[in-house]
Chains A and B, each alone.
Chain A
Amino acid sequence: MLLSFDLMVSFFVGMIMISMIRVVIGPSPADRLIGLNLVAAQVLAILVLIAVKENLAVYLDVALVYDIFGFVGILAITRYFGKKQEKEP
């Protein structure tokens, strides 16, 4: 096979390293949130690839809960920073 699932897992780990650069150097909190959104999507892809490769359904439950918590986490972070921004002036 040309692109095996092992190779795809390694590729997505490298892509996560690249998109963590934006999380580190982002000038504003919105940039860091964009980087975190990208990292969460790629970790989800890695979990699904490992589940299909190992033929284990347990990883898919972990992937679903990870997706839900990533969504709720971004919602909570935006609520926190938005409220803090209103209180300061």
Chain B
Amino acid sequence: MIWIVQFFLLLGVVFSVIGNLGVLIFPDVYTRLQASSTCSTTSVFSIFLAAMLSAGISQLTGKILVITLFFLFSSPVSAYIVARFAWNQDIVPWRKLKPRPSEFQEANE
């Protein structure tokens, strides 16, 4: 059982490092949002699984289960809210080649 807990803690560490690096070095709002939302959800979910396995069957496990269910609901919804906020503020998605002038005008209108 200890090694399963260790495995999930290690998974949480790896996903957290990847998510924070992505938020630091990605070039645009949408790409940063993708790194932040997926990696933070998986890392925190792994930490919750490790905590539930480590606590055994007790009062703590039920409360962590309720928090996990609410977190699985609230984290994608808040990522969607931030993405809709960025889209409503006319932030053009980043691309490697520069957009053509006609597309740029369409995006600005």
A interface list, Cβ under 8 A from B: 1-3, 5, 8, 11-12, 15, 18-19, 21-22, 28-31, 33-35, 37-38, 41-42, 44-45, 48-49, 51-52, 55, 57, 60-61, 63-64, 67-68, 70-71, 74-75, 78, 81-82, 85
Closest Cβ of chain B to A14, distance in Å, is 10
CB-CB under 8 A for A61 and B23, given A30-B85, A33-B85: no
Interface residue tally of chain B, by bracket?
35 or more
Closest Cβ of chain A to B65, distance in Å, is 10
Interface of B is mostly: helix
Determine whether the beta carbon of B70 is less than 8 Å from that of A41: no
Chain B 34-72 per-residue mask, 1 if CB under 8 angstroms from chain A, else 0: 001100110110011001001100011001101100110
Q: Give the docked Cα–Cα distance between A72 and B74 (Å).
A: 10
Give every chain B residue within 8 A of A30 (Cβ-Cβ).
Answer: 29, 33, 82, 85-86, 89, 91
Give every chain A residue within 8 A of B63 (Cβ-Cβ).
Answer: 57, 60-61, 64
Give every chain A residue within 8 A of B37 (Cβ-Cβ).
Answer: 37
Determine whether the beta carbon of A64 is less than 8 Å from that of B66: yes
Determine whether the beta carbon of B23 is less than 8 Å from that of A35: yes
Closest Cβ of chain B to A19, distance in Å, is 5
Closest Cβ of chain A to B42, distance in Å, is 10
The residue of chain A having its C-beta at the shortest distance from the C-beta of B75 within the complex is A41
